Amino acid sequence: MFSHPDQAGFLPSAELSSLVAKLLSLGYQCLGPAEEGGAIVMRELAAPDALPRGLQAEQAPGHYRLTRDSDNRFFAWANGPQAIKPLAFAPQESLWRVERDAAGALQFAAVLPAVSPQAIIGVRACDLAALAVQEAHFLRDGRRDAHYAQRREQLFLVAVQCAVPASTCFCASTGDGPTPTAGFDIALAELADGFVAVAGSEKGAAVLAALALSPATPLQLAAARQQAQDAATRQTRSLPSPNLRDALMGQLEHPRWDDVAARCLACGNCSAVCPTCFCHAEQDLPSLDGHASEHVRVWDSCFGESHGYLHGFSVRPDIRSRYRQWLTHKLATWHDQFGRSGCVGCGRCIAWCPVGIDLTEEVAALVRHSDQPSDESSKRSTKPAGGQVAAYPARGRGGQGHAQTD
């Protein structure tokens, strides 16, 4: 009933728990925001009414502190260090296992994750965009990463429009937020007394239909649209263009790379929190008795020297070349691989960098005197121009880009 954009419903704040209860009754494990270690992370909800209210986080370069939202809303926080990434692309998992049988022969077997259905409540537009970017890598051109696919297929995504961006957010300039436009099952826009709710998939429509919501009024829809516009306007950071390919690739010898290398610790935090980074390493973990071994995939970072190690030498021996690799892959050569930038403007790499390196500032320094994006490079971009705010409500699943990769 609510699967079309014109059919938005209204869910009073006091009945948000009924949405969680419905998802639990359908067999989903429900994850929602929780305070842990001084940050907002996604954790299993102990009960339908366990979603916390009033959580907020102040973010700046190298800075993340929990605060309280004076309006006591459910979703007045921008994002935490995690995205959806760990739930689809596991930080560490076995790919296959080998065992020696009684006759001494080696027996190989795939190890696939046992995943149960999970509903994530509070997914942001930037993270939906990042999920589509990851899918372009893991599920593309007929190829299917079985481990990624198995986890992804079990996810039910309840997205939330961002009303309170952090100072590190710049999704409006990448065209990825603050309103969810694709990839969700249900999308919510939180108003003072409840939520405008739309479905983006048949599964989402069935859940909303079961809640028997009253239709959202024109005033409520207008308030949701205005809220998105205000959130975009409040973003203070930006990238100069969604497509910086030519501008950055023309600056490979710019002295700014030495400047940022002197500050960067090569810790890899930025790539760990980035929702689109997909680099990994593979390791073999033999048992102590030598009869079995697990082949494991673990997240890796291009900031580590070992990631660029090839037969006796490293192709990126210094921090300058590693930072340059990260930034130019993310914002420039990603266009060649995936048809869009690898940055969705979530700002995590800025907040979680221990020395406060801000990629928007680095880009501004690098391209300040360089060419503006050419007509041709602008055509390569699949994203709308900076600052665009999608109309609310918008349709969900679909529109996920698939392109070539490395």
Positions touching ligand SF4 (CB under 6 A) are: 264-270, 273-276, 303, 330, 343-349, 353-355, 357, 359
Q: How far is the CB of 359 from ligand SF4 (least distance, A)?
A: 6
Compare residues 217 and 236 and give the one whose CB is closer to ligand SF4.
Answer: 236
Q: How far is the CB of 224 from ligand SF4 (least distance, A)?
A: 24
Compare residues 76 and 357 and give the one whose CB is closer to ligand SF4.
Answer: 357
Contact between 282 and 296 under an 8 Å Cβ cutoff? The reply is: yes
Q: How far is the CB of 352 from ligand SF4 (least distance, A)?
A: 7
Q: Is 202 exposed, middle or buried (0-12, 13-18, 19+ CB in 10 A)?
A: exposed
Tell me the helices (H) and strands (E) count for the chain, helix number first.
Answer: 15, 16
| Strand arrangement of the beta sheet that strand 106-110 belongs to | 106-110, 92-100, 292-299, 280-286
Nearest to 17 by CA among 203, 195, 161, 163: 195
297 phi, psi to nearest 5 deg: -105, 130
Q: How far is the CB of 47 from ligand SF4 (least distance, A)?
A: 32
The Cα-based distances of 201 to 3, 129, 207, 208, 391 in angstroms read 7, 16, 10, 11, 18
Compare residues 156 and 299 and give the one whose CB is closer to ligand SF4.
Answer: 299
Q: How far is the CB of 389 from ligand SF4 (least distance, A)?
A: 18
Compare residues 221 and 272 and give the one whose CB is closer to ligand SF4.
Answer: 272
Nearest to 317 by CA among 328, 304, 326: 304
Compare residues 197 and 357 and give the one whose CB is closer to ligand SF4.
Answer: 357
Q: How far is the CB of 134 from ligand SF4 (least distance, A)?
A: 11
E strand segments, 365-404: none
36: enclosing H helix or E strand: strand 29-36
Compare residues 355 and 391 and give the one whose CB is closer to ligand SF4.
Answer: 355
